[in-house]
Amino acid sequence: RRQAMSGKDSATHSKAPQQQKIDTSQISRMKLSITLLSTISCASAFSPVHHGGSRAFVTKLDAQRQPIMAGNWKMNPATEDDAIKLASDLTTLLGDETCPMDEENEFCTEVVIFPPHPFISRVKDKVEDIGITVGAQSVFFEDSGAYTGSVSTNMVKSVGCEYVLCGHSERRTLFNDDDEAINRKVKKVLDDGMRVVLCVGETREEYDLDIKNAVCAMQLSKDLFGVTKEQMKDVVIAYEPVWAIGTGLVCDAKAANEVHAYLRTVLSDLYDDDVAQSVRIQYGGSVTPESVDELMAQPEIDGCLVGGASLVAEKFGRIINFQKA
């Protein structure tokens, strides 16, 4: 079922005449592209398979993976009562093929929700009996100390979290989480016995420059540095093109599938084919009930990380109960 995929990820730039003025944004794009393309040759994880001069990215094994649907509530809803109602409403909308309803099926759909920290305990109390898993939206990589406003892995684990989001674009851009910090968080979460949803994705500028593969590969390689092959069983990757998050824009399903296939070649080079084909890769970015079926029909897309639509129980319920091809 897993088909060989092909992709192209090269950035070309025309050289301006010596006397022509180049605006600031143009210079910025050129510097960004040069930086990324110069580093890409340093990592074997980015090496494509060549066929007659074209770049083809291939997946080598035929694998079936358990679907995973996750709802990232972000800084919503407004009150604990609203959070409990949302969680309660969701428990009534699980279909027959979700793990809470069909846990003996190894390919049932896993359901995870990420409430804000103050609501985690009460939301878990509401959903745990039916089998929905709860995770934390972020953690700090130290166990304790003078880190005002932060929470540790032990804290969120003690209130029932099984997953932690790492590397979400809003954490990268609004809170300045760089790849070194994200890597430390990833390793801390895994070392403390929880699972990671690691988010990677390109900005609109990087997408327009046609360097999305290079950007995602750089993030993946840096964020997984020091993570062992054995630990990868507890890692989920979420491909979230930044320009699609919260904008209403959805990356074309086939284009998203090509990026997922490319990420598997990166994982294959970082680890091996078994890891590349067993790791689940979600798509995230304005996923809706209208777009989910086409996304989930793609062979390399194993689930969705859902933002705004996860705040409406009926919408998230429809996404969870996607129509299988």
Report which residue type is found at 25. S
Per DSSP, the residues of 56-102 read E----S------EEEEE--S--SSHHHHHHHHHHHHT---TTBTTT-
Radius of gyration of the chain (CA): 20
Which residues does 273 contact at the CB level (< 8 Å), separation at least 6? 60, 61
Q: Are 13 and 30 in contact (CB under 8 A)?
A: yes
**How far apart, in Å, are the Cα atoms of 50 and each of 6, 57, 58?**
11, 8, 10
Residue 242 is encoded by which pair of tokens?
């930044």
* Range list of H helices, the chain: 24-40, 80-91, 120-127, 153-158, 169-174, 179-191, 204-208, 212-223, 253-270, 273-278, 292-296, 313-320
Phi then psi for residue 244, to 5 deg, are -100, -10
Q: Which residues are known to be catalytic? A: 168, 240
